[in-house]
Amino acid sequence: MSLSQDDVKRIARLARIEIDDAQAAATQGQLNTIFGLIAAMQAVDTTGVAPMAHAQELSQRLRDDVVSETDRRAAFQAVAPAVEDGLYLVPRVIE
């Protein structure tokens, strides 16, 4: 599999990263090298091997269902760019 420059630009847009054509071309080369590595690994016969979801052979630790957090709004909002009535303000997201 190899990525086109359009694929690279689309991925950049989805990730909200602004890139110009030169950067897209450079990134395309780097990404295709990575895909080349993946292609080489995919040549390995993995018949009968369960897909691995995590690098560690452990299972998820669980928390008891208990409320342990307290209200720290004032501290968190002290570093927010804009707040009002306890809400974080962001640029309007719908018209």
Partner 1 sequence: MKWETVIGLEVHTQLATRSKIFSGSSTAFGAAPNTQASAVDIALPGVLPVLNKGAVECAIKFGLAIGATLNRVNIFDRKNYFYPDLPKGYQISQLAQPIVEGGALKIVVDGEEKTVRLTRAHMEEDAGKSLHEDFHGMTGIDLNRAGTPLLEIVSEPDMRSSAEAVAYAKALHTLVTWIGICDGNMMEGSFRVDANVSVRPVGQAEFGTRREIKNLNSFKFLQQAIDYEVRWQIETLEDGGRIEQATVLFDPDSGETRMMRSKEDAHDYRYFPDPDLLPVKLDDAWIARVQDELPELPAAMQARFVEAYGVSAYDAAVLTGSRALADYFEAAAQACGQGKLAANWVMGELSAALNRADLGIEQSPVSAAQLGALINRIHDGTLSGKLAKQVFEGLWEGTGEVDAIIEARGLKQMSDSGELEKIIDEVLAANPKSVEEFRAGKDKAFNALVGQVMRATKGRANPAQVNDLLKAKLG
Residues ≥6 apart with Cβ < 8 Å to 81: 89
Q: Which of 16, 30, 43, 46 binds partner 1 (CB under 8 A)?
A: 16
Q: Which of 38, 40, 43, 62 binds partner 1 (CB under 8 A)?
A: 62
Residue closer to partner 1 (CB basis): 22 or 64: 64
Q: Is 57 exposed, middle or buried (CB count within 10 Å of its CB: 0-12, 13-18, 19+)?
A: exposed
Does position 76 bind partner 1 by CB under 8 A? Answer: yes
Residue closer to partner 1 (CB basis): 20 or 95: 95
Report yes or no: 82 and 89 within 8 Å, Cβ to Cβ: yes
